[in-house]
Chains A and B, each alone.
Chain A
Amino acid sequence: MEQQPIVELKGLSKTIGKKKIIDNLNLQLFPGQITGFLGPNGAGKTTTIRMMAGLMKPSSGEVIVEGQTLTDHFEETMSKVGVIVENPEMYKYMSGWKNLLHFARMNKSITKERITEVVDQVGMQNRIHEKVSSYSLGMRQRLGLAQALLHRPKFLILDEPTNGLDPAGIREFRTYLRKIAVEDGVSVFVSSHLLTEIELMCDRIAIIQNGQLIDIREMNQKEEAHYYIEAQPVEQTRELLVGLGLTVAESGHGFIVKVEQDQIPAIIQSMVTANLQIFAVQPFRKTLEDQFLEMTGGGQIAESHKK
């Protein structure tokens, strides 16, 4: 995929006081691609996103949107960006429609028809003229998405977007994101704590820890195959597997074995021959959660520097 990136973070750093919160972040985001942004609490996700949304100024480095830097061409670049930062806080004392009108006026040439269109897209047409204070969290999320889409952005930044949506809403949201990514070539950048969510939604994930990007990986990357094998007696099973030259790791009552699929019949054959009682032989896939925890070294929160 040798495309021009829509958004590029170049050496992005943020120092608050003496603390380096974001340290030399480099990342490219491509059209049509949904990139997940993961990291433990306090790793610098929100700070990064705020710098990309123009709410914070980087201490050094640049956010570049289609070749223009955010700091020097604020209005041009921001008109290509749609943002939902954390919970979309709206003007509660106004109707959803007035809120959208408000944000539409801050862009050039958004027609009333366009607002109606977006309202229909997020399925809010029945309640749009009610005050936002009467909306549920899920409806506010939809309104939040609507305001981010008004100006047909080429790049969408979402911070914890599915917070407060019900399962049906989450699924709908996912499908919708996929749709605008594929059909309109929008590049989407999603941060979330919900790893399973990210796993289902994203093409690519970027992992941040202590302000540094520690990994970027494609989700459809072919992973090394692992199988879970459980058989009795345990000791004989282990000897047999090790004897076959396999790397074995104990897990519960059985073993995780690093092995390619085409070797499996032969292994079962030899286990049968050895008179082992086989209980389970199944493909084992590390969840994103496992991988994530492995990479970030467990759940400890990075040294606190928020607020």
Chain B
Amino acid sequence: MLNLIRNEWMKLWHKKATWIMVALLLFILIGIGGIMKFVQSTLDQPENQPSWEENEAENKAFLTAELANPNIDDTTKKQLEKELAISEYRIEKDLEPMDPSGREQSILDSHFMLSLVVLLSVIAAAGIVASEFSQGTIKMLLSRPVKRWKILTSKYLTTLLFALMLTMISFVASLIAGYLFYDPSGGAILDYRNGAVVEVSYWGRVLALYALQFVGIIVYLTFAFMIGSVFRSSSLAIGLSIFLLFVGPSIVLFLSKYEFVKYILFTHTDLTGYISGNTFVPGLTWPLSLVVLTIYMLLFLVISFWSFTKRDVTA
């Protein structure tokens, strides 16, 4: 199996497209940091900016007023109470929030840029099986003393490895951009857990966001992998996956009135909502998300393996 993965890895990196993807990723990630910095520097800074303490006091007052409103529903109430608790804690312990234009915040936000990695991993996953068919090399590949499921497994693991590598590259690139273009600002992240406000470790939060985004990457990648191995066409797989990537959230929004939206894949592809507190659809829970994602992933993989091992090669 190790040899098979080495083979796939070798083929992947001998394609020019792969190098172009990595170069593009680096260029965009570091470039965007530079552009943002440039845009910020051209904006006029208002003279008398209120201090964070003043802002926070204002926020607290606003939250208290909102809570006094008798018409709010239970979920909103809970959310507001949570925010109020955090706000009070911040003022009480004198914990400065992060400067939105500081280094820490920029690195924290960089997980959004992983949608680029989704795009690139989808391209790789879509092509890894389909390209063997379009090049005609599939005949050479499958007339070897290696069972087909092993070959497909090696291809799937290789795409996962590739996605992981791209994720790490983006992380490092975002760090570089953060240190190059932004000044450190300090600040503390607060969270509300089990009825108490806690301070969250900064790097822990960054890693958690990256890890949750990576789950989304794997889901889209697996989908593209399935389409690529079933239809043996990489353009179809890339097109369809990217289409769903863009349309998915709108579908969820559109169907959010109905109960079954909870069982749609796209409701669960962005798990970072659990950290930021803004889940797409109210009433989602971790176990539900994990079960739904697992079922869809298993379905995708079963279809891929079934199609790849059972069907004749006629290309």
- B312 located at the interface, meaning its Cβ lies under 8 Å from any Cβ of chain A in the complex: yes
Complex: A4 Cα to B314 Cα, angstroms: 32
Contact A54 B136 (CB under 8 A): no
- A258 located at the interface, meaning its Cβ lies under 8 Å from any Cβ of chain B in the complex: no
Contact A78 B144 (CB under 8 A): yes
Task: Specify which chain B residues have a CB less than 8 angstroms from the CB of A92 in the assembled complex.
Answer: 135
Contact A78 B143 (CB under 8 A): yes
Interface readout for B6-24 with A: 1 if CB under 8 Å, 0 if not? 1100110011100000000
8 Å CB interface, A53-105 against B: 53-57, 74-79, 81, 83, 85-94, 98, 101-103, 105
Interface size class of A (residues with CB under 8 A): 35 or more
Contact A106 B145 (CB under 8 A): yes
- A50 located at the interface, meaning its Cβ lies under 8 Å from any Cβ of chain B in the complex: yes
Task: Specify which chain A residues have a CB less than 8 angstroms from the CB of B146 in the assembled complex.
Answer: 75, 78, 106
Given A55-B312, A94-B10, are A106 and B142 also a contact pair (CB < 8 Å)? no
Complex: A92 Cα to B131 Cα, angstroms: 12
Contact B145 A89 (CB under 8 A): no
Complex: A83 Cα to B147 Cα, angstroms: 16
Task: Specify which chain B residues have a CB less than 8 angstroms from the CB of A76 in the assembled complex.
Answer: 145
8 Å CB interface, B126-164 against A: 135-137, 139-147
Complex: A59 Cα to B309 Cα, angstroms: 15
Interface centre among B136, B140, B312, B313 (most CB of A within 10 A): B140
- B190 located at the interface, meaning its Cβ lies under 8 Å from any Cβ of chain A in the complex: no
Task: Specify which chain A residues have a CB less than 8 angstroms from the CB of B147 in the assembled complex.
Answer: 74-75
Task: Specify which chain B residues have a CB less than 8 angstroms from the CB of A83 in the assembled complex.
Answer: 139-140, 143
- CB B225 to nearest CB in A, in angstroms, measures 20
Task: Specify which chain A residues have a CB less than 8 angstroms from the CB of B6 in the assembled complex.
Answer: 105
Given A74-B145, A75-B145, A79-B145, are A106 and B313 also a contact pair (CB < 8 Å)? no
Given A103-B144, A105-B6, are A94 and B313 also a contact pair (CB < 8 Å)? no
Contact A105 B7 (CB under 8 A): yes
Question: B137 touches which one: A77, A81, A91 (CB < 8 A)?
Answer: A91
- B51 located at the interface, meaning its Cβ lies under 8 Å from any Cβ of chain A in the complex: no
Contact A53 B15 (CB under 8 A): no
- CB A217 to nearest CB in B, in angstroms, measures 28
- A147 located at the interface, meaning its Cβ lies under 8 Å from any Cβ of chain B in the complex: yes
- B276 located at the interface, meaning its Cβ lies under 8 Å from any Cβ of chain A in the complex: no
- A277 located at the interface, meaning its Cβ lies under 8 Å from any Cβ of chain B in the complex: no
Given A55-B139, A55-B313, are A91 and B145 also a contact pair (CB < 8 Å)? no
Contact B139 A85 (CB under 8 A): yes
Interface readout for B297-314 with A: 1 if CB under 8 Å, 0 if not? 000000000000010111
Task: Specify which chain B residues have a CB less than 8 angstroms from the CB of A106 in the assembled complex.
Answer: 3-4, 7, 141, 144-146
Told that A89-B139, A94-B14 touch, could you supply 6 new A-B pairs with CB distance under 8 A? A55-B139, A75-B145, A76-B145, A91-B137, A93-B14, A98-B14
Q: Which 8 A-B pairs have the closest CB atoms?
A: A89-B136, A79-B145, A78-B145, A105-B3, A55-B313, A56-B312, A83-B143, A106-B144
Q: Which residues of A contact B (CB under 8 A)?
A: 50, 53-57, 74-79, 81, 83, 85-94, 98, 101-103, 105-108, 147, 151, 307
Q: Which residues of B contact A (CB under 8 A)?
A: 3-4, 6-7, 10-11, 14-16, 135-137, 139-147, 310, 312-314
CB pairs A–B below 8 angstroms (8 shown): A53-B139, A91-B14, A94-B10, A94-B14, A98-B10, A101-B10, A105-B6, A106-B4
